Amino acid sequence: MSRLQPARGTTDLLPEAMAAHRRVMDTARDVAAAYGFNEMATPIFEFSEVFSRPLGDSSDVVTKETYNFTDRGGENLTLRPENTAAVVRAMISNGLTQSLPLKYFYAGPMFRYERPQKGRMRQFHQIGIEYLGPVEPLADAEIIACGSRVLDALGVGDKCVLHLNSLGDTESRTAYRGALVAFLQKHEADLSEDSKARLVTNPLRILDSKDKTDRDIIADAPRLQDHLNDLSKAHFETVTKALDAARIAWDFDPLLVRGLDYYCHSAFEFITDSLGAQGTVLGGGRYDG
């Protein structure tokens, strides 16, 4: 008789692991509630365009990692790879756009067709918060502060370093994209195959490449902060001053762009060196589009 194993990239949560899992979820839920975030849940699968439109057809998630299927009625559906797009869909579907601002907490399984490696699962569990509506930069700082408090409450905050960058507004990113593409085209022959493809579809993601040759080229690339307009600079300054006032230490990381196409202004990751290659334990950013 063959041994029955869980599907690749999945795992069973037996009682000991489940207790730890529950502690993380409950701690995050309690901290988020203290910040005024109310718990909600969305379906595990959505119409595929719910994710392909906002995440961007050129994002790694959509091009490589989503679980897509067609049901018996011919509908194109996707297991949720993340929950932000689904939360925004829920806001629109339920007619809540007139009730902004809205603050939501969620926890549950997400699905990505990851290359199997330590710390990467194809069904993984994620906690998250969404602050829908406010344009003020202090909302960015509040989100980051809430994440920091969750890590502190779990006893791992001192093992994590907050990395922070500004991706600017659309005008700033458009100006920077032109400068970056012009620079990278001079080195196109030496770029990795992934980066050559991204040069056409999503050049900012090249900044996040792990390829050593790419990293050497990127070291001399133009910097996004040199292309920020006054509005974007003021937004970022307000966020950093608020974090300083809250005594939340941060490191400026000019190469931090995050993996999804929709981010603008603040992007952040809490990173640790205690987990091996996969060091990001919590991250996010603003998305105004």
- Report the pLDDT averaged over residues 219-229: 90
3-state helix vs strand vs coil in the chain, percent to 5: 45, 20, 35
Tokens found for residue 14: 């037996």
Predicted TM-score (pTM) of the model is: 0.88
Q: Higher confidence at residue 220 or residue 143?
A: 143
Kind of pairing between the strands at 67-70 and 76-79: antiparallel
Q: Residue 112 has what pLDDT?
A: 93
Q: For the chain, give the mean pLDDT.
A: 90
Planar angle of CA 50, 145, 92, nearest 5 degrees: 25
- Report the pLDDT averaged over residues 126-131: 97
Q: Residue 54 has what pLDDT?
A: 65
d(CA 261, CA 54): 8
Nearest Cα neighbor of 274 from 122, 158, 128 is 158
Q: Is 58's pLDDT higher than 70?
A: no
In contact, 21 and 87? CB cutoff 8 Å: no
Q: Is 1's pLDDT higher than 50?
A: no
pLDDT grade, residue 271 (50/70/90)? very high
d(CA 60, CA 62): 6
Contacts 24+ apart (CB under 8 A), 180-187: 180/204, 180/206, 180/207, 180/221, 180/222, 183/220, 183/221, 183/222, 184/217, 184/221, 187/217
Kind of pairing between the strands at 38-39 and 67-70: unpaired
d(CA 48, CA 58): 15
Q: Which run of H or E residues covers position 193?
A: helix 193-201
Kind of pairing between the strands at 264-271 and 38-39: unpaired
- Report the pLDDT averaged over residues 184-193: 88
82-96, 127-141, 215-229, 267-281: range with lowest mean pLDDT:
267-281
According to DSSP, the residues that pair with 106 across neighbouring strands are 128
Q: Is 2's pLDDT higher than 60?
A: no
Q: Residue 201 has what pLDDT?
A: 81
According to DSSP, the residues that pair with 130 across neighbouring strands are 104
Q: Residue 261 has what pLDDT?
A: 64
**From the CB of residue 141, how many other CB atoms can be counted at a distance below 10 Å?**
21
| CA 189 and chain centroid, separation | 30
Q: Is 59's pLDDT higher than 60?
A: no
Indicate the SS3 state at residue 5: coil
Which residue segments constitute the domains of the chain, with CATH numbers given?
Answer: 1-133 (3.30.930.10), 170-225 (no CATH)
Nearest Cα neighbor of 257 from 171, 192, 167 is 167
pLDDT grade, residue 190 (50/70/90)? confident
In the chain, the DSSP E strands lie at 38-39, 45-47, 67-70, 76-79, 102-111, 123-132, 161-166, 251-252, 264-271, 280-286
Q: Residue 64 has what pLDDT?
A: 65
